[in-house]
Amino acid sequence: MLTLLNLLKDGQFHSGQALGATLGISRSAVWKQLQHLEAELGLSIHKVRGRGYQLASPLALLDPLKIEESLAGWSVSVFSSIDSTNAESLRAVERGQMAPFLVLAERQISGRGRRGRKWVSPFAENLYYSLVLRIDGGMRQLEGLSLVVGLAVMQTLRALGVAGAGLKWPNDVLVGRKKIAGILLELVGDPADVCHVVLGIGVNVNMQTSDEVDQQWTSIRLESGKPCDRNSLAVELSKQLQLDLQRHQSGGFSALQAEWEASHLWQGQPVSLTAGVTQIDGVVLGVDNQGALRLKVDGVERVFSGGELSLRLRDDS
């Protein structure tokens, strides 16, 4: 099916006879494969008698060789469809694949965000990205790491013209109140000795409509008014990550703390922090040098960290 998709990706009409001849199959077999493409990948294919078949819009697919040749020392794998790039990354670690390596996908069947939430992942529209790093001892290398990743994503989006991109503690990148990207970090191994961390990043790139997303969202295309080359995005994001991760490794999160706070959209705002059934109201003071949230609660500064916390603006319905 991927060979057929590559023949159709230009968005032009192709006759069933020509497609069959190229693939070495019958016209009826071509028709069956087209039905699978529509059903499995959610693609819309126009069928016009006398002209043939045409994708409703052209596709620009991810190119692992193009991405890999722009990066130093990272192997790159691209999957057409997978449960999630993070899940595949963890399996690769178990198989003994050497880090650092990058896993990308055109579509995720079971993409997920923080706290078990579903991450909507339509085919060939967005960026589903997982970078695997090996961490050799030193808990300091993990302090504030998710915030560093969010900062790199935001910097990349701003460089691509999404000027309003900003941060929301701990793992979201927003434009105003609309989510444009999210981060999910997963750890395997012993953080006190040798472990691997998966930096999972989802960016809404060219998505323009979705009935599945249960919160306000936007995309690079909606913000810029034009399609975004996902190969270029993957390269630029990777390069920014390399820079920020090096800064983090050298100086800890404190080296990026002020920069992160300057881009925190909710700095100084009244918020509600939820941990299980407990809700804490306060005002955001910033983050500490380990990336924990600093809140002013009833006149007293308190510090919060943990993967199961949810932060909302006080007037956010």
Provide the annotated binding site.
84-86, 108, 112-114, 179
Contacts of 219 (CB under 8 A, 6+ apart): 126, 180, 204, 205, 206, 207, 208
- Is residue 312 flagged as an active site residue? yes
CB-CB contact of 14 with 27 (8 Å)? no
Q: Check 107, 114, 168, 230 and give the catalytic one.
A: 114
Q: Check 134, 140, 296, 312 and give the catalytic one.
A: 312
Amino acid at 179: K
- Angle separating helix axes 145-159 and 230-251, nearest 10 degrees: 140
For residues 282 and 108, what is the distance between their CA atoms, to the nearest angstrom?
A: 37
Q: Check 179, 226, 239, 302 and give the catalytic one.
A: 179
Q: Could you tell me how far CA 244 lies from the centroid of its own chain? A: 17
Q: What 8-state DSSP symbol labels residue 142?
A: G
Q: Which residues are annotated as a binding site for biotin?
A: 84-86, 108, 112-114, 179
Bond from prior residue into 227 cis (ω within 30 degrees of 0): no
With residue 227 as reference, give the H or E element that holds it.
none
Range list of H helices, the chain: 2-8, 16-23, 27-41, 64-68, 85-95, 145-159, 220-224, 230-251, 257-262
Question: 162-187 burial, b if ≥16 CB within 10 A, otherwise e?
Answer: beebbbbbbbbbbbeeebbbbbbbbe
- Is residue 179 flagged as an active site residue? yes
- Is residue 115 flagged as an active site residue? no
- CA-based R_g, the chain, Å: 22
The two tokens of residue 276 are: 């299980």
CB-CB contact of 309 with 274 (8 Å)? yes
Contacts of 265 (CB under 8 A, 6+ apart): 166, 167, 168, 174, 176
Active site (catalytic) residues: 114, 179, 312
